[in-house]
Amino acid sequence: MGLRQAWLTPMLGEIFADLQISEKWALLEKETRIDGYGFYSNFILAREEQIRSFPTLSKLTSLFISLYGFHSNRFVETTRKPASQYSKLLKNLSCLLEVSDSWTPVDGLHFNMRTIKTNTPIMERDTELSALLRKFAAKGANVSEDNEYDNWVGTITQDEVDSLGIKLTDGNHLYMHGTCTKVFAEIQIKADGQVHACACRDIDGNLVVGNLNQTKLKDILSFENAPYRELIESQMQGQFKKIAGHAHPIGVSMMDEHPLRTLICWS
């Protein structure tokens, strides 16, 4: 199939909420058909022993950490979670910073800030989190801030984020041309065996094209499989009804920018 990279990020949820995630890392480490794996996390539920085990995971090629507030109050306002979780985040990042003295994944450490809109970049702020990020950046980590947000297939309304100064984009009105590359390069395998044609935004299960408990993956991702073929053909004809609200449709002309990979959702 050519699927050599695995992503462990749940479509909805947090990887460290899975109490057996360390065992699953061990499984992938032994799997000869997998070259590497990575995941996104808000890094709050990670345990210290898990963070300190990263250098032993030779196939952990990239780590993306999503941040939701440049200080405690903004974290609470953005996430609607208690400040104690922000304190846990800082503790875990400090541990990761220590670990990164002797370890960095092949494809790097990546931090992305998603919070209330202001005119002061995160790297220029005088907060404990900003100080940590400056230290990570000095070691080569990538730090970015989101400036555009979508309405997650209509599940988020503008009034819910007005207080954050965020303007939502309605994905229904984005330009789409040709079949999205995620149909070819970034499929999702869920814990129940369902195979989704998109590992990004199929929260309602509209893009299910098969089930591994019934059919081999090579036969699911085949033009002989009617649901998969019909999805591709409909998008080539400009019909994107099943992904209305998708924020990032990527045309086939951009295929070279996206290596073939799959997302395994174990949680």
Cβ neighbours of residue 91 closer than 8 Å, sequence gap 6 or more? none
For 38, what's the count of Cα atoms within 13 Å in the CB-facing half-sphere?
Answer: 16
pLDDT of residue 244: 44
Cβ neighbours of residue 76 closer than 8 Å, sequence gap 6 or more? 69, 82, 83, 86
For residue range 26-69, list pLDDT tens digits in order: 999 999 999 999 999 999 999 999 999 999 999 999 999 999 98
Portion of the chain with pLDDT greater than 90, in percent: 49
Query: Where do the H-state alpha helices sit in the chain?
Result: 21-30, 48-52, 72-79, 83-99, 128-138, 182-185, 217-220, 226-236
Q: Predicted confidence band at 262 (pLDDT cuts at 50, 70, 90)?
A: very low
pLDDT of residue 143: 95
For residue range 99-113, list pLDDT tens digits in order: 999 999 999 999 999
- Residue 171 contacts residue 144 (beta carbons within 8 Å): no
Give the global pTM. Answer: 0.81
For residue range 115-145, list pLDDT tens digits in order: 877 888 889 999 999 999 999 999 999 999 9
Would the pLDDT of 199 be above 80? no
pLDDT of residue 17: 93
- What's the distance, Cα to Cα, between the start and end of the chain in Å? 24
- Residue 47 contacts residue 19 (beta carbons within 8 Å): no
pLDDT of residue 147: 76
Q: What is the Cα 91 distance to its own chain's centre?
A: 22
Q: Predicted confidence band at 167 (pLDDT cuts at 50, 70, 90)?
A: confident
pLDDT of residue 241: 59
pLDDT of residue 251: 37
Each as own residue / partner, the long-range contacts of residues 225-231 (CB below 8 Å, 24 or more positions apart, any chain) are 228/183, 228/197, 231/183, 231/197, 231/207
Q: Predicted confidence band at 149 (pLDDT cuts at 50, 70, 90)?
A: confident
Q: Predicted confidence band at 256 (pLDDT cuts at 50, 70, 90)?
A: very low
Query: Where do the H-state alpha helices sit in 100-216?
Result: 128-138, 182-185
Q: What is the Cα 149 distance to its own chain's centre?
A: 14
> For all residues of the chain together, what is the average pLDDT?
84
Among the ranges given (24-33, 44-53, 200-209, 215-224), the one the predictor scored with the smallest mean pLDDT: 200-209
